[in-house]
A and B are shown apart, each in its own frame.
Chain A
Amino acid sequence: MVDILRDVLVALLVACVATALIPVVGGIVLYGIVPFHAVRSHLRRAGAYLPRVVVLIPAWNEAPVLTASLERLMALEYPPDRLRVFVIDDASTDDTPAVVGAVAERFPGQIVHLRREKGGQGKAHTLNHGIRRALADDWMEALLIMDADVVYRPDSLRRMTRHLADPRVGAVSAYIREGSRRPSAVTRFIGYEYVTGQAAARRAENVVGAMDCLAGGAQLHSRVNIEAIGGQVDTSTLAEDTMTTFMTQLDGRLVVFDPSAVVLAEEPDSVTGLWKQRLRWGRGNVQISSRFRRMWFRPTRQHRLGSFVFGFMWFAIYLLPFFMTAASVGLIGLFLLDELLATWMFQALWWAAITAYVFITATTLMLDRQTARRSWLEALMFPGLGFLVIMAAVFVPGLWDERIPAALDVQLGPVAVTAWTLLLYAWPVLSMVCAWGLKQLERVPGGRRAVRFLIYLVGYGPVLCAVSADAYLKEWQGAAQVWDKTEKKGTVAA
């Protein structure tokens, strides 16, 4: 009886470790799909189309960034008589009205300042104020929703509108590139992450025919689409962009990504800022996963959101904290029950991870060479030094417990070897705890400087996983939905 229980426990622990292969396989599958974009891009169905576009900019205390954004919008290579900009001022208390007024004077009739006297309800409410105004007459044919800090390249809007020549398309997403003039370590990591999350992942989603999220700062909708989804964006979740994306596709219209429509955005430069932004996104995605629970893995002819591939890619990312925890629990449990099996599982898991790491990093660096030039170190250090140490341990047998100690003329005792092994097994969970520690460290004097270096040790990937774990926790606790605006300083290279 004891043997049977032990065997069952071992099987469960092996299954725990095996679940950690899901995100690894997910990454390889996603990147394996990317090259098919060469033959399955929506550009084949795009056409010369320049509709009358209303641009919505929700703004709450955005004075430092608005001038550059508005000037770049006015410099778009797009017919001026087909472009109107509505700045929806959410009861700003800074110089936002004056800044908008000054630019509007230079471009009469093209920039409109819409003031909400009662603000603070969140971005979705602010957007809806502008959408109601845009839909009030027949002038608008397409609606561009952007963030105040986003700087559009001159050719970006027309590269988005051309997809609306295909009436099946409801919305188009541009490629948001991190564009700070003097990027911090965190912003460099974000820059690299955006290549993986947009230039790679959204190309794959174009091929699959299902998009997870329109970029919040650069999404273009046809008028038909905005009206069909109710003439407003959802206000009940923290992920109104994802909600709009899903509703568009569930209603039978396509959402496409154009990688050549590039816009630049300012991103958080600290772990605390990143945490605040991603916690909102993460909680929103938990809400979306739950809201559409009957949609996942149920293919229909109307849309591809229910396809297995899309569901697999979605959950491979959003369940990462659980997979990492399962890996650590499984490996440590196996170590106590069957040390040899633990070693074998550890090596199998990390061989798969090494394969994914090399393939994904190499592809990503080649996809966007401009970002690669400034974020190559962050690309290599994305998993953090801790995980690179683990990969080295698997790549070179006996590296840390035999070869290096021997080179230093030191011999590790059995206790030290056991402690080291358990540290490697526990690192997936420990890295998330350390990531949370980075956020706390930024609060103490001098901590921010230390975090600049420590984030390379802990890794950016573990920081994102820790934020996701926090998002699940906050949702489970039923924490209040607060719209925490990401602080912007106007550092995008305009």
Chain B
Amino acid sequence: MSTPTSRTEEERAAWWATLAPDALEDEIRVNLRAERRLVPIALVAGALTVVVLVLRTVLFS
């Protein structure tokens, strides 16, 4: 069997569906890692907000 990291997304989902304990632990790890995207999302949203506020100050003050 290939290691989890070498699997495609579909293969990995199929492996998780086998409900083997190591597969379920891997699913938890992947879901946990996916939460890391919240940081760049917040940074992008924050940057966009700052750009809007600066833009207004530059254009209309």
Contact = CB atoms under 8 A, between A and B. Distances in A.
B24 A34 contact: no
A289 interface: no
A362 B44 contact: yes
Contacts of A358: 45, 48-49, 52
Contacts of B60: 395-397
**A interface: dominant SS:** helix
Interface residues of A, number: 36
Nearest to A258: B31
A276 to B, nearest CB: 34
Interface residues of B, number: 30
A359 interface: yes
Interface in A49-99: 50, 77-79
A34 B22 CA distance: 29
Contacts of A50: 19, 24
B38 A37 contact: yes
A367 B41 CA distance: 7
B41 A366 contact: yes
Given A43-B35, A159-B31, A162-B28, A48 B21 contact: yes
B58 interface: no
25 contacts: A34-B38, A35-B41, A37-B35, A38-B36, A41-B32, A43-B32, A47-B25, A48-B21, A48-B24, A77-B17, A77-B19, A79-B19, A155-B16, A158-B24, A158-B27, A260-B31, A358-B52, A363-B41, A363-B45, A366-B41, A366-B45, A367-B41, A395-B60, A396-B56, A396-B60
Interface of A: 31-32, 34-35, 37-38, 41, 43-44, 46-48, 50, 77-79, 154-155, 158-159, 162, 203, 258-260, 354-355, 358-359, 362-363, 366-367, 395-397
Given A77-B19, A366-B45, A395-B60, 4 more contacts: A35-B39, A37-B38, A43-B31, A359-B49
